[in-house]
């Protein structure tokens, strides 16, 4: 019988194989969008199974609800291909004025958190005024993998910056990281994991997507260390 570790190794390899094929040169945006979408759907499916299993085992149910965004003040790591997909989606779903405003908000946010990476309590610039995620459809695998089992711990975390006190299901985080690691292997030369807000701002720069499609490294200074 396959061990959990072997199963995770196989999962990462399968995601990496698909993503690497999708990024074969000449890179085509449609193939990249498709493979990142598939990885997100796979993450959603696996997370749903894990949460069902946890509930059946009496481990509780997630406190997460639409419009609850206490955790959307945490810095988010993503992968280069996810940043490309988010920027593509924003370009197709926001007006020029909205994009200009978003770029300014991302610049302000990145500047403000630079000196206080983990201390910031600033809301994610993608968060809407009604506390719904403004890029929900294309949000990174890392955001899809974070579930809290205690709302009061989230509130405490939000008010007092105590992330370790939030009861989470380790497996959803591990599975999410495994899928992200598979995606990251498709872009050798780029940092494996990049800061969500810096990388999307980079991908929104004029000509950035074309340079990425041409095989250039564009996220070198967006690495999460
Ligand atoms: S991308 Fe969406 S889910 Fe992730 S932190 Fe930002 S608002 Fe929250």
Q: In angstroms, what CA-CA distances link 19 with 27, 39, 59, 187?
A: 11, 9, 34, 9
Residue of the CA atom closest to atom 2 of ligand 1: 133
Report yes or no: 140 and 82 within 8 Å, Cβ to Cβ: yes
Report yes or no: 178 and 11 within 8 Å, Cβ to Cβ: yes
Q: What's residue 26's pLDDT?
A: 95
Q: What's residue 118's pLDDT?
A: 58
For the whole prediction, is pTM greater than 0.85?
yes
Q: What's residue 142's pLDDT?
A: 96
Q: What's residue 164's pLDDT?
A: 63
Segments forming the whole domain that contains residue 203: 4-222
Q: What's residue 29's pLDDT?
A: 98
Segment-wise mean pLDDT, segments of 10 residues, the chain, 225 residues: 94 98 96 98 95 92 93 93 98 98 96 72 92 97 94 88 75 96 97 97 98 98 90
Q: How many domains does the chain have?
A: 1
Q: What's residue 121's pLDDT?
A: 75
Q: Which of 65, 75, 135 to mutate for ligand 1's pocket (most ligand atoms within 8 Å of CB)?
A: 135
Pocket, ligand 1, Cβ cutoff 6 A: 72, 76, 124, 126-127, 133, 135, 139, 143
């Amino acid at each position: 019988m396959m061990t959990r570790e072997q199963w995770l190794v196989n999962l990462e390899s399968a995601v990496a194989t698909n993503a690497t094929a999708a990024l074969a040169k000449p890179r085509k945006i449609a193939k990249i969008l498709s493979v990142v979408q598939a990885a997100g759907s796979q993450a959603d499916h696996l997370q749903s199974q894990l949460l069902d299993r946890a509930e059946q085992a009496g481990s509780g149910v997630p406190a997460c609800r639409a419009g609850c965004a206490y955790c959307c003040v945490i810095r988010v790591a993503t992968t280069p291909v996810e940043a490309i997909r988010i920027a593509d989606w924003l370009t197709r779903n926001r007006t020029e004025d909205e994009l200009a405003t978003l770029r300014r908000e991302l610049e302000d946010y990145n500047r403000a958190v630079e000196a206080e990476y983990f201390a910031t309590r600033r809301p994610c610039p993608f968060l809407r005024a009604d506390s719904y995620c403004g890029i929900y459809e294309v949000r990174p695998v890392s955001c899809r993998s974070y579930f809290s089992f205690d709302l009061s711990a989230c509130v405490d975390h939000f008010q007092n910056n105590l992330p370790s006190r939030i009861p989470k299901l380790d497996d959803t985080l591990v599975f999410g990281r495994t899928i992200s690691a598979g995606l990251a292997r498709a872009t050798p030369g780029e940092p494996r994991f990049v800061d969500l807000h810096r990388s999307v701002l980079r991908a929104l720069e004029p000509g950035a997507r074309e340079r990425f499609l041409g095989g250039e490294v564009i996220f070198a200074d967006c690495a999460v260390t």
